[in-house]
Amino acid sequence: MAAMSELNADFEDVNGETIVTLSKKKEQKDGPLKGVNFINHNDTIRTNSTITTTCVSVRLPFNGELYGYDVEIPNGHQIDVNQTVITPMRDEIRIRIVKIGQFTLHG
């Protein structure tokens, strides 16, 4: 499998949570991911993605390529793996990260 092609990531902190919205970059939207509806790949995304206390890794293997993004949790901090959720939608993948303690996540 080729190197991972990163998706765009937008971070928003709200009430002890961070919502990370992953979207296609322009070259992905116009090229290999054109017309791809992420919700149609829900099972593949959930199977290939991982959530640990220190990292959320979203993965979509598609047509021999790998797309995704890693949200690294700062040293000394953790997230609640049972409440953190990856939700594929039509044109984006939303990650709801529930933080343990106060800290800020950003890309």
Domain boundaries, the chain: 4-100
Position with higher pLDDT, 1 vs 83: 83
For 26, phi then psi, to 5°, come to: -55, -45
d(CA 96, CA 7): 16
d(CA 58, CA 51): 8
4-100: CATH topology is Immunoglobulin-like (2.60.40)
1 token code pair: 């499998």
Indicate whether 88 pLDDT > 70. yes
pLDDT at 29: 95
For 77, phi then psi, to 5°, come to: -120, 160
Q: Are 78 and 39 in contact (CB under 8 A)?
A: no
pLDDT at 36: 96
Strands (E), 15-79: 17-23, 50-51, 55-62, 65-72, 78-79
Burial class (CB in 10 A: 0-12, 13-18, 19+), 27: exposed
Percent of the chain with pLDDT over 70: 98
pLDDT at 15: 86
pLDDT digits (tens, 9 = 90+) for 14-42: 888 999 999 999 999 999 999 999 999 99
State the pairing for strand pair 65-72/4-6: parallel
- Please give the average per-residue pLDDT across 35-59, as a whole number: 97
For the question of whether the overall pTM of this predicted structure is more than 0.95, the answer is no
In which band, very low, low, confident or very high, does the pLDDT at 3 lie, cut at 50, 70 and 90? confident
